[in-house]
Amino acid sequence: MKKYDAFILPESATHVALLTDVHRCAFTLAEVLITLGIIGVVAALTMPSLIQNHDKQIIETRLQNFYSKINQALLMSEQDKNMMRTDWRPSALCASGTHNSYSCNLKVFNEYFKDYIKYTKLENKQDILYVYFTDGSAAYFTYFGQDITFFPKASKAELSNPKSGKDKFMFAFYPAGASGNRNLYFKNLGVEPYIHSDWDGTKEGLYVTCSNAAKIIQLNSWKIPDDYPYRVHYR
């Protein structure tokens, strides 16, 4: 007589799943394609916003870090020289007519910044001093080292026409004062966001030119405001 192995259910079992039940749990190809399509649409809608927010955060952080570090450098320079910055005369370091030259701005950088701020290299590009910082940002110095154009991403400095308020941001260093209304915002201070000479002191007055972009962000606690008129780029 042929013997068969007994099939014993565990005590906790309530039923036996048939093979036909297993097949009902699988997704059809159509269902998989629909799901992937939905995921693709959601990604397409959300990714640009996520990328833009990421770009904004990097630019905000690097602007604030640059402002903090370069002014910390000035403070240490001031202490070492035992001299008030209002007595500094960067123009005295340069020969007449050389205010925008590489040699003039290098002298100013070496005098006030070099020993107190971390950077990876200095470059002479078309007789302009470029400084590359350790965090991947860069800046160039003109007009006796007092006008500073900052790039949150160093590679943007290589563009033929970088956009103010998007790729680059302007700062100024006029401790002894500046012309027009700007004297109120630069005298006795260190490196500050640039403002145009006829600024009326209002938030609205800053929006008339992209040169004031860094000041707009500074007044919003170094956060790009919702009504910021320029679309920033980091990539």
How far apart, in whole angstroms, are the C-alpha atoms of residue 109 and residue 143? 12
Average pLDDT over residues 209-223: 94
How far apart, in whole angstroms, are the C-alpha atoms of residue 121 and residue 132? 5
Highest mean pLDDT among 59-63, 85-89, 187-191: 59-63
pTM: predicted TM-score of the whole model, two decimal places: 0.78
Read off the pLDDT of residues 5-43 as tens digits, 9 standing for 90 and up.
555 556 655 555 555 554 556 778 777 778 777 777 776
Average pLDDT over residues 152-163: 92
Cβ distance 102 to 92 under 8 Å? no
State the Cα angle at 71 between 91 and 206, rounded to 5°: 85
How far apart, in whole angstroms, are the C-alpha atoms of residue 173 and residue 166? 21
pLDDT for 52 equals 65
Read off the pLDDT of residues 164-174 as tens digits, 9 standing for 90 and up.
999 999 999 88
Domain boundaries, the chain: 39-218
pLDDT for 29 equals 79
Structure-block tokens of residue 122? 């200095």
Structure-block tokens of residue 210? 């992209």
Residue 69 predicted with pLDDT over 90: yes
Average pLDDT over residues 131-146: 94
pLDDT for 172 equals 92
Average pLDDT over residues 113-119: 93
First to last CA, the chain: 80
Average pLDDT over residues 211-227: 94
Structure-block tokens of residue 168? 């680059």
Burial group, residue 47, by CB count within 10 angstroms (0-12, 13-18, 19+): exposed
Least confident stretch, 42-46, 76-80, 124-128, 208-212: 42-46
Express as a percent the part of the chain with pLDDT over 70.
83
Read off the pLDDT of residues 167-207 as tens digits, 9 standing for 90 and up.
999 999 888 777 767 777 888 788 999 998 778 888 899 99
Average pLDDT over residues 139-158: 94
